[in-house]
Amino acid sequence: MRLTSLLLPLFVASRLTFAANSVQWVNVTGFWFSPAGGNSTHVNAMSENDCLTKAHSPFANYNNVTKSCYAIDSCRSFITDVSSTTAHAKYDPRVFVCYGNRELNGTVIERHQEALGFTECMAKSAAPYDDQGKRNKFNVITWHGEAKNGTSVGTCELKAMTSVSKVDRRGVISCKKIF
């Protein structure tokens, strides 16, 4: 029996497990989603993969040291927490490709700092027309999840992509629309 015939199933299985989570969850290491209204549900999970499988909500926080998982229905910002935590947010892989702690380059067309969490930011960008009935020109969203200047919400930027490069940026989720 060849070594490749033994290793290939292991490689494919591990890639599928990883891909199943990466296509619908964006991961932001070193941050913890701050639940709107303080509401979160503890999920009994033995691993990060288990956490994401069992969390039936748009957001999940997982601590790799304590093996604790929390499902969150609504969120407007992050809390910095570098103690082995990862914030996870669901997205629709048929509409977006998303990156955690990375920013896609682009010209900012609209910036919102109201009650827009990550989910609301994605919904704003999904609209094909703006409030004046003009075709939207943006194809990238960048959500800065860290609340700043005394606010309790992140910032949503709708951008027109200027290059395919990504820049490392802590506390940011960037998504490119798929056409």
**pLDDT tens-digit readout, 155-171:** 899 999 888 888 999 88
* The pLDDT value given to residue 93: 92
Q: Which helix (H) or strand (E) holds 13?
A: helix 3-22
Residue 55: closest CA among 14, 30, 82, 27: 27
The architecture CATH gives domain 96-177: 3-Layer(bba) Sandwich (3.50)
Residue 145: closest CA among 86, 92, 97: 86
The Cα 87–Cα 96 span in angstroms is: 18
Task: Name the segment(s) of the chain with CATH classification 3.50.4.10.
Answer: 3-90, 96-177
User: For 100-114, 125-139, 160-174, which range has the lowest pLDDT when averaged over its residues?
Assistant: 125-139
**147 vs 123, higher pLDDT:** 123
Residue 154: closest CA among 109, 106, 122: 122
The Cα 31–Cα 48 span in angstroms is: 15
CATH code of domain 3-90: 3.50.4.10
